[in-house]
A and B are shown apart, each in its own frame.
Chain A
Amino acid sequence: MLVALGEAVGRRAGDIGALLLSARRALIAGSRLRVDLTETLRQTDRLFVDALPLFTVASVAVGGVVAMQGLNYVARYSASEVFGWAAAMSAYRDVGPLLLGCGLAARVGARTTAELAVMAARDRLDAVRALGIDPEPAVVWPRLVATVACSVLFWAPACTLVLAVAFVVASLVGDQRLATSVWSVASYVHASTLLQGLVRMVLFGVVVGLASCHAGVAVATSEDRSAGAIGRAVYAGAVLSLAGVVMTNAVLSLLGGTG
């Protein structure tokens, strides 16, 4: 058992090392990054549409949770005028981005890993390379950029849906007046709060994009290119993405004193 545990820890350590190398390569390439724009837009469109139902359902569910938790404090401290502020903080900066980050890892990240792993296992990356094209800017980076773009595109609508559902549920269940909630948001929520949430979301997108792309492309260098190897790559990508989102959230919360 100890051997298996050691091997698992070794593999994850190797993954994290490779991930850091990928991030370094991406940063170095940043200034001269020639990403295929058409492919990036196509991937963004596909990933966004694909993940839309999951984010919609999850936002509605989280909106309900935010309302019930907020109402609990409103009742305890008779502070109905800060309900809107607390819900907005939760939706746009804290719980909302974390939910979106996890959703991004589960839906967008897993899909990206699976696609790249299949491409690697079925010679499609080699086919691109054989044409004298570097697969990174042509195939991999567009998916990374698309993941980050999706994280940004989803942030405002999904978090606003969370807040709207929270307000509606609070008004139906807890007699929290809708006008008071909206007034609370307008009075207490600053642009910096929204910016913090957006930055958090972008970082989650980068983490999920790097982890999922790395896990998919890693199949190309593997001895094993079977269906099992593709499944393991998707699993590794999801674990790396989720762990990365949670760790990034923890670090940002410690730095910003929130979360």
Chain B
Amino acid sequence: MRALEAAKLVAHGRGGLALGPVDVNVLPGEVLVVVGATGSGKSLLLAALAGLAPSTVAHDLSVGMVFQSAALDDACSAFENVARATRARRVPAPDEAARTALVSVGLGDALATLPRQLSGGMRRRVAIARALAVAPELLLLDDPTAGLDPRTTREVLALALPSGPQAPPTVIVTHDVDEVVPRADRVLVLSAGRQCFLGAASLLASEPALACYAPRRGTDDVHAEAW
């Protein structure tokens, strides 16, 4: 597994939105959480890393991305949504890989179900299965817990954030500070397209201007919850 190296990243989005320069270097197994006000360039950063927006990014890592809207094809079953990705990426035994991914996110019984028949949390899980099934070298998550209840939020995060050195570098954009930031190895705070903080989550509370991004729950609480 390789690291994501995107130093001094500059990107341009719709509506004249500009981002950067921002340093986004993430090691394998590391989770970088990106927070900031609406319109600060968080989603543009992910779009740039995924190659969806004009930018200076030049990595060649294969990407798995979970969109805020899940971005599933409603005309195809959950299985077909994932299998299309595995086939397109030429994953060995693509259909089996898709099935395994859906089973691993707890949707083994919903393989033939259309996305519109699934709840918001289940749709998000299908999107996670699609992103993970292609064994990405870089995992990008755009507010994956938006609109979910606390229990589903924790389930989704547990599924979406693989751990260990074999896990890909992960960049996650969120507004859910309390649930997501405690799971971060590092936090990047953006403001009006500029990087205004990059460091450990524990340091956020000591910066008065950034205290609003400091979680009210600690990392220990999150790990204790897992047990």
Q: Which A residues are within 8 Å of any B CB, using their own CB?
A: 46, 119, 122-124, 126-127, 129-133, 138, 223
Give the docked Cα–Cα distance between A70 and B92 (Å): 63
Q: With a CB–CB cut-off of 8 A, which chain A residues contact B63?
A: 130-132
Q: CB < 8 Å: which of B52, B62, B73, B75 contacts A129?
A: B52
**B72 touches A (CB below 8 Å):** yes
**A-B CB contact pairs (8 Å), 29 listed:** A119-B73, A122-B69, A122-B71, A123-B67, A123-B68, A123-B69, A123-B71, A124-B71, A124-B72, A124-B73, A126-B47, A126-B50, A126-B67, A127-B71, A127-B72, A129-B50, A129-B51, A129-B52, A130-B51, A130-B52, A131-B65, A131-B89, A131-B134, A132-B62, A132-B88, A132-B89, A138-B88, A223-B14, A223-B15
Number of B residues with CB within 8 Å of any CB on chain A = 22
Given A132-B88, A133-B88, A138-B88, check contact A127 B67 (CB 8 Å). Answer: yes
Q: Shortest distance in angstroms between A162's beta carbon and chain B's nearest beta carbon?
A: 32
Secondary structure at the A interface, as helix, strand, loop or mixed, is helix
Q: With a CB–CB cut-off of 8 A, which chain B residues contact A119?
A: 73
Secondary structure at the B interface, as helix, strand, loop or mixed, is loop
**B85 touches A (CB below 8 Å):** yes
Q: With a CB–CB cut-off of 8 A, which chain B residues contact A124?
A: 71-73
Q: Which B residues are within 8 Å of any A CB, using their own CB?
A: 14-15, 47, 50-52, 62-65, 67-69, 71-73, 75, 85, 88-89, 134, 140
Q: With a CB–CB cut-off of 8 A, which chain A residues contact B73?
A: 119, 124
Q: With a CB–CB cut-off of 8 A, which chain B residues contact A132?
A: 62-63, 88-89
Q: With a CB–CB cut-off of 8 A, which chain A residues contact B69?
A: 122-123
Give the docked Cα–Cα distance between A223 and B17 (Å): 11
Q: Shortest distance in angstroms between B191's beta carbon and chain A's nearest beta carbon?
A: 22
Give the docked Cα–Cα distance between A221 and B52 (Å): 11
Whether B88 contacts A131 by the Cβ 8 Å rule is yes
Give the docked Cα–Cα distance between A46 and B74 (Å): 14
Among A124, A129, A131, A223, max chain B CB count under 10 A is at: A131
Q: With a CB–CB cut-off of 8 A, which chain A residues contact B51?
A: 129-130
Give the docked Cα–Cα distance between A138 and B89 (Å): 13
- Closest A-B pairs by Cβ, 8 of them: A127-B71, A130-B65, A123-B71, A123-B67, A130-B50, A133-B88, A124-B71, A122-B69
Whether A127 contacts B65 by the Cβ 8 Å rule is yes
Q: With a CB–CB cut-off of 8 A, which chain B residues contact A133?
A: 88
Q: With a CB–CB cut-off of 8 A, which chain A residues contact B89?
A: 131-132
Among A130, A131, A133, max chain B CB count under 10 A is at: A130
Q: With a CB–CB cut-off of 8 A, which chain B residues contact A126?
A: 47, 50, 52, 67, 71
Q: With a CB–CB cut-off of 8 A, which chain A residues contact B67?
A: 123, 126-127
Give the docked Cα–Cα distance between A130 and B67 (Å): 10
